[in-house]
Amino acid sequence: MFIVNVEGAIRKDDKWLIIRRSKKEEHAGGSLSLVGGKVEIEGNSSNILERTIKREIQEEVGVKVKDKLHYVHSTSFVSDTAENVVDIVFLCEYQSGEAYPKSPDEVEEILWLTTNEVIDHPNSPIYLKESIKQAEALGGKE
């Protein structure tokens, strides 16, 4: 069985919304990341991935994204707590709100970075760099 996780690559004015994960987080604490979270069990449900990413973005950083989401890619990995995870990244269009660490237990800091700044940042994990490169190629430029 897998945990299903979704992440949003949110672009505004040629910069990506990147978070520094709280050091309290069990997985990848303190590292840079896209905003996202685990899909919760809802029984029979439609558009669960899309609703989850919108909810997580609102809960963690206080930003709303537009309804139209674009699939970027999916990966699987084993978390720092030895759980098998399927991760799905969506390109999200910023709609409104001022990003801030709304959930400090999950988000330590908000950064707006260009693609090159994400790629060159010493705390960017390889999977974040790959997600940003793929989101950019999909049409992340405004």
**Using one digit for the tens of pLDDT, what is the confidence trace for 53-96?**
999 999 999 999 999 999 999 999 998 889 999 999 999 999 99
Chain mean pLDDT for the chain: 92
Boundaries of every domain in the chain: 3-139
Q: Would you identify the CATH topology of the domain 3-139?
A: Nucleoside Triphosphate Pyrophosphohydrolase (3.90.79)
**Using one digit for the tens of pLDDT, what is the confidence trace for 100-114?**
999 888 899 999 999
Percent of the chain topping pLDDT 90: 79
DSSP class per residue in the chain:
--EEEEEEEEEETTEEEEEEEPTT-SSSTTSEE-EEEEPPP-SS-SSHHHHHHHHHHHHHH--EEEEEEEEEEEEEEE-TTS-EEEEEEEEEEEEE-----SSTTTEEEEEEE-HHHHHH-TT--HHHHHHHHHHHHHH---
Instruction: Say whether pLDDT at 28 is over 90.
Output: no
